[in-house]
Chain A
Amino acid sequence: MRNVILGLDGVPFEHIQRFTETDVMPCLHDIIQEGGFKRMQSSIPEISSVSWSSMITGKNPGMHHIFGFTDWIPQSYHIRFPSFNDLGCKPFWQQNKDTSVILNVPMTYPVQPLQGLHVSGFISLDLNKAVYPPGFINVLNQMNYMIDVDMHKAQQSKTLFLKLLHNSLQQRKTVLDKTWDLYPWKQLMMVITGTDRIGHLMIKDYNMIDSSLHQEYLNYYHEVDKVIGHVYKKMNPDDQLILLSDHGMTHINQNIWLNNILMEHGFLSFKNNLKKYDQIHQDSVAFCLEPGRVYLHHKDRFPHGSIQPDQVSQIKEMLIELFSSIKYHGQPVIKKIVDTQKVYHGPYLKDAPDLLLLPVHGYSLRGGLSSSSVFTEPNNIQGMHTQEDAFLISNQGLDPVSSYPCIEETLNLFNKTNGEK
């Protein structure tokens, strides 16, 4: 008995619901009929680095230490980019040591040795550090393997984007076929990230039913469904197939630049009129990182911080009040504000943001400093992540997880078949 996990990055529950009810994803429809299909909660924040880290470890960010694509260099205002080396606990393939094939899982770069094969997913900067064993690099080079669709190119032309998207899907399938019999694996995980990419660049096109790109969107999902069907056919009858997304997706109405809100209300200022993190003024109370992570300017955490521990709860209350009051055309934009001290637990809680903001659908929270306005129109990026509508499917049913599971519960399904390790 083996486990096959297929991740569909950024696919909302409603997409699966709709596409399996129509003819867009017939293979997946059949799998759901055999097993189970549930709406699932993504991590908070609802971004791939955090969600996939939660999924592969079965832990929350306070345990696995990944709080976002960016984080602070300790005792500084400089930004670092956590990698697989920063993962604070072991992924399932290091927990149970079974022979594994791990393909294109985000946030697993640079790869580490394992029993089997590992080709990391985005963000993988250098193929030489993205493949274990290194001998497999030649196989990938021969097929001009793309770790990810070049989003810079993709934003220049949707025709080019779709071509790259289909190419990368076929490459994933080819790699999967090449490795299927190459290793005596017990667990195989592959993530299709093109679903996230098409969501970000074309979800508005999808929403416009008359648009020619609407059909292109469906065509891509149909191709994804074919890959799913292809994999399912190759599996043994007693193998388990788990399908899941790491978060959902919806279209963006407005970008909300959180640091500008803090600036407007006197919580954040910069030295020398230079709007850069390393110029944060000592009187600043709080600042944000993408997407909606709020950090208090703690005295013991930042070089010029001044917030003492006894001030924290009062400041959090003020910030919660501030962010709760933000409205766009009379409508609130923040749906929920989470105190990490209450939802995270584990040895790395000290490195977590203080507050996490979850937006109302359509309001993309931005933590950067590049905009001068609080509200901006979306650019080429049409889609934003959603937290409460990821999905989870298993051909063998979903009894081991709760009725509305969190993403880190996924491994409960896994352990069911492999036994507790």
Chain B
Amino acid sequence: MICHNKHKTCWNCPAAVLKGNVDFRACGQTKEEIEQQAKDNPDMQVVITCKRRPSLGYFEPGITFEECPEYIETEYGYMLRNMRVMILGIDGYLGWTLALKLARLGCRVFGVDNFLRRDMVSEKGSHTGIPICRMTERLRVAASYGLDIDFRRIDIRDEISKLREYLSEVKPESIIHYAEIPSAPYSMVDSYHALDVQDNNTLGTLGLLFAMKDIVPETCMIKLGTMGEYGAPLSGRPIFEGLFPADAVLEWDDRKWSLGGEMTPRNPASFYHVGKVQDTYNVYEACRYWWLRSYDIMQGVIYGVSTDELSMDKRLRTRFDFDEWFGTVINRFVVQAVLGIPLTIYGKGEQIRGFIGLDDAMQCMIRLMVCPPEPGQYDVVNQVTAVYRICDLAEAVAEVGEEFGLKVQVNRVSNPRVEPDRHPMEVVSKKLEGDFGLKAKVCLYDEIRRMMKVLLEPEVLQRLKDKQSVIAPVTRWNGEKKHCDLLEEYAAGSKQLDKELKQQLDRMDGRGEELSSIEKKKQLEEDIVVSD
């Protein structure tokens, strides 16, 4: 096995203590500058200590993960033995899934949640389609499988002192930050919801950054951002991974400038996304000011219900939301299909988005977790494994639905959001595969199949039926609260793709082809034209 992180060194390791040793933590400095200073001045030494190997005393940071006895080889790369990982938002769809996976991998998992997601979904009159246990029961069942997880009920926004205590107690070696409200429509309901979203997300994260500076400055925060921060640039320029690549050039008025390393423009499409952009800048600045380190994960739209751990026991399953506020598009389409109600497409349905399956998203997080950035480094990863048009996804769901005897109808409705219905999209996502060794495993069709199987279980199906009314969108970006107008009804499989758009899609979806050839093959077999 070749580990992607074998050449990473103490500079990347959270066990390396810089604070109090490396005395040059200051605004804007980088490891490279420090190393250059040391090179220019042979009498200058860079000195650290190691929390895990105190017997080394003071030493030069340069031991590779491969050499260090504290690291063990795993399928995700070299990982600190019994690595202490704190998951903020552990009760959520992603948080719980990751907690089980990490515990099974041998990590010591510490979780924080205030059950806000359960409350918000309940407030909107919905519930999780797949039933989930109370946290105490979840922890007990997990423990019965040898998966020990420590949990604290903490609101990271309003109970920062509790969080600081827990951080001091645990001294996590990685922090996975899922503790934000993940919904654009929820932030557009009204002023109260918008304030809640931005307050909880932006201020909660800002408080966390200060706590990390004081308590665990060497720990990497992997924070969930969203591809939605970028918007969909109508110019068709590529959506780079947060920062412009080194060879990007701005040309204007017969002059040229390098853009390498600068933040790419953001074009958020809701107050939720605006808050995420604010987060991005807060994290970026904290890395610059305090030598914190962070990966900002611009995650595509997530889908799926399956991982090895979630499948171990029904009581270990993760939540599955399908309402208009918290249901993601593929998940929602599958619910509509199993309920026998039309799949709702907004506007023309030709919006293009990046996607990632649940299991692949977990793999990404672990690969990033075991390979932290250097001190002061803020890096962005576009966490997508394929890009799809929304209307094509409806077709994919319909096609799999046929295997289950489901007849799928599609309703195009007026778009409740303010966004272009039709736009180019070229997502750059090279780091995960190139730098972190990601090998995407989730096949769209297979995962839809697995979802249908679970959602057709009688108990789950009944729960979906009980809350069927919360699927259709009533939250409009213009502030109105009413159902969208029906534009067109059609049976899935009756349309042909526009050829020009199809070619564009093929070009843009090159990565999807590499990563999941089955999906691509199925997509190419379709020859549907979408008309207004």
Residues of A within 8 A of B (CB): 69-70, 73, 76, 78-83, 85-86, 123, 125-126, 128-129, 151-152, 155, 276, 278, 366, 368, 370-371, 381
Are A370 and B57 in contact (CB-based, < 8 A)? no
Choose among A70, A73, A155 the residue that contacts B45 (Cβ–Cβ < 8 A). A70
Are B59 and A83 in contact (CB-based, < 8 A)? no
Query: Which stretch from B60-68, B96-104, B108-116, B294-302 is at the chain A interface?
Result: B60-68
- B38 CB, nearest partner CB in chain A, Å: 9
Residues of chain A with a CB closer than 8 A to B56's CB: 73, 80
Query: CB of B74 within 8 A of chain A?
Result: no
Are B63 and A126 in contact (CB-based, < 8 A)? no
Choose among B58, B63, B67 the residue that contacts A81 (Cβ–Cβ < 8 A). B58
- A419 CB, nearest partner CB in chain B, Å: 34
Q: Closest residue of chain A to B64, judged by CB? A: A278
Q: Complex Cα distance A80/B21, Å?
A: 13
Query: What are 19 sample pairs from A and B whose C-beta atoms fall under 8 A apart?
Result: A70-B45, A73-B59, A76-B63, A78-B62, A79-B60, A80-B57, A81-B45, A81-B59, A82-B58, A85-B57, A86-B57, A123-B47, A125-B21, A125-B58, A126-B21, A155-B41, A368-B42, A370-B42, A381-B43
Query: CB of B20 within 8 A of chain A?
Result: yes
Query: CB of B507 within 8 A of chain A?
Result: no
- A226 CB, nearest partner CB in chain B, Å: 30
Residues of chain A with a CB closer than 8 A to B67's CB: 76, 78
Residues of chain B with a CB closer than 8 A to A125's CB: 20-21, 23, 47, 58
Q: Closest residue of chain A to B19, judged by CB? A: A126
Query: CB of B44 within 8 A of chain A?
Result: yes
Q: Closest residue of chain B to A376, judged by CB? A: B42
The B interface, classified by DSSP as helix, strand, loop or mixed, is loop
Q: Complex Cα distance A393/B209, Å?
A: 56
Residues of chain A with a CB closer than 8 A to B482's CB: none
Query: CB of B39 within 8 A of chain A?
Result: yes
Are A81 and B62 in contact (CB-based, < 8 A)? no
Q: Complex Cα distance A278/B20, Å?
A: 26
Are B45 and A370 in contact (CB-based, < 8 A)? no
A152-B44 CB under 8 A given contacts A79-B59, A80-B59: yes
Residues of chain A with a CB closer than 8 A to B42's CB: 366, 368, 370-371
Are A151 and B59 in contact (CB-based, < 8 A)? no
- B314 CB, nearest partner CB in chain A, Å: 49
- B287 CB, nearest partner CB in chain A, Å: 22
Q: Complex Cα distance A357/B20, Å?
A: 34
Q: Complex Cα distance A381/B47, Å?
A: 21
Choose among A82, A276, A366 the residue that contacts B57 (Cβ–Cβ < 8 A). A82
Are A78 and B60 in contact (CB-based, < 8 A)? yes
- B325 CB, nearest partner CB in chain A, Å: 49
Residues of chain A with a CB closer than 8 A to B58's CB: 80-83, 125
Q: Complex Cα distance A81/B58, Å?
A: 5
Q: Complex Cα distance A129/B58, Å?
A: 13
Q: Closest residue of chain A to B20, judged by CB? A: A126
Are A129 and B20 in contact (CB-based, < 8 A)? yes
Residues of chain B with a CB closer than 8 A to A80's CB: 56-60
- B42 CB, nearest partner CB in chain A, Å: 5
Are A370 and B39 in contact (CB-based, < 8 A)? yes
Q: Complex Cα distance A338/B253, Å?
A: 70
Q: Closest residue of chain B to A86, judged by CB? A: B57
Q: Complex Cα distance A373/B307, Å?
A: 58
Q: Most chain-A Cβ atoms within 10 A of its Cβ — which of B21, B23, B44, B47?
A: B47
A81-B57 CB under 8 A given contacts A152-B44, A366-B42: yes
Q: Closest residue of chain B to A151, judged by CB? A: B43
Q: Closest residue of chain A to B59, judged by CB? A: A80
Given contacts A76-B63, A78-B67, A81-B59, 13 further A-B contacts (CB under 8 A): A73-B59, A73-B63, A76-B67, A78-B59, A79-B60, A80-B56, A80-B58, A81-B45, A81-B57, A82-B58, A125-B23, A152-B37, A366-B42
Residues of chain B with a CB closer than 8 A to A151's CB: 43
Q: Complex Cα distance A125/B57, Å?
A: 12
Residues of chain B with a CB closer than 8 A to A85's CB: 57
Q: Complex Cα distance A70/B64, Å?
A: 19
Residues of chain B with a CB closer than 8 A to A79's CB: 59-60, 62
Q: Complex Cα distance A236/B43, Å?
A: 41
Residues of chain A with a CB closer than 8 A to B20's CB: 125-126, 128-129
Top-6 shortest CB links A-B: A80-B59, A126-B20, A81-B58, A79-B60, A368-B42, A125-B21
CB-CB contacts below 8 Å: B39-55 with A? 39, 41-45, 47
Residues of chain A with a CB closer than 8 A to B21's CB: 125-126
